[in-house]
Structure 1
Amino acid sequence: MTASVPELADQTAFITGGANGIGFAAAQHLTTLGVTVAVVDVQADAAERAAAALGEHAFAVPADVTDLASVEAAVATITARSRGVDILINCAGITGRTGIKSHEVEPADFERVWRINTLGSFHTARAVLPGMLARGYGRILHVASIAGKDGNAGMLAYSASKAAVIGMAKVQGKEYAGTGVTINALAPAVVRTQMVAAMPPEQVKYMTDKIPMARCGELDEIAALMGFIVSPASSFTTGFTWDFSGGRAVY
């Protein structure tokens, strides 16, 4: 038996990387639906600015997703202000150095990308799952990438880390199916964000040229999809990797 499903407007969301990019867009969308959002970011000042911009339904929680103790402290802070975390969206991520071949990748860079993109998603899910299971309800969304499905040449660390995130969502979705907690991944192609703007133009062109829509995805488009995935209405889909690729992914 699962607990009664809470209304979306009564829920609290934990969004990593929530100070900018896809994370901020998701936070902005959810606050318009009445969700209380914890903007979780390693940069405390950026998290505070984002929360202030979002208004009364948001507050900042600085945390380092690569550090399990920091993540657990963030969950405790959020739980002290609410009944607990109803929604977890993992948006914190970096590309690492791009536009290079595998033999040119520095081990330290590979490890840094892996720790933020993959280990960070593991830490946050591990920290929120006990509370979700106790209440019989929860939504976890790991933001992966089309690179995790296809592999982007010149982006070994990023592609490998996002493939692992997709694998994690598949395992977790199966493990917790039927508990009231759904766990999915989302695989965007190129979305117009600051992270993409900072990449070499030739790397962005390489990725965008693969998109049948022949353009980047926009933040409001991906935020709307994320809002549905983490809503009570999306109750049967779990362990799935949602597409946001402009037709690039057909599987």
Structure 2
Amino acid sequence: MVNSFFQQGLPVFQAFKGLSLTGRCILCDAIGQPGLDICQGCEAELPGLGPHCRHCALPLPSLDQTLCGQCQLMPPPFERTVASYLYQYPVAELIGGFKYNRHLSYGKVLTLAGLNRFVSAYNHDLPDIITPIPLHWRRRLKRGFNQSEHIAGYLSKGLGIPLLTLLKRSQFTPPQQQLDAQQRRQNLKGAFEATQVLEGQCVAVVDDVMTTGATATEVTKQLLDAGAGEVHIWVLARTP
């Protein structure tokens, strides 16, 4: 598909301007921007990713290096990762407040402020479908919402890409936060299932943060087995 933003040359966030009254900045309480509750100064200071691995988005020391050591030795099954921010202050605190304390405005601000970063990562067509990382029903019931669905919804609307539920969480697993990379991979084996057959489409899988890539790897395998042509991972932030 050819996204309309490439055809018209419009800034992505323009699609959201004027949709809501101007609020207060979630970081400094100054007047925010129309439709976006963060002031221009605070938005400009959000930590961008900088040089990174083209496969897994791991931060790298210079633009001369395009792949991290791990991806050179063992390329992941997903084609690429796009991340708006580096996972550090204040992005890490905003994502934590969004995910665990239901400050939904934090997730909205980070997603909308980062929309142009997703477009600028491509010099050709954007993915055909957006799909969120699913939560197991027990965790969703406890948390009250799925943060990845909120992020995916804003991206779908802002970029004009269909949002479909292509995955389900078939197993309840312990939280990933306290596990190392090998434990994370083992923890997620068999945890996801594809929900429909795909026909060569490029799928963007949306999550809040990428750490080791264990979740991304597991869901990518399921989508490729279901017929996806390529899988891209889209996240708000990448850990160092």
Give the TM-score normalised by the residue count of structure 1.
0.33
Give the TM-score normalised by the residue count of structure 2.
0.34
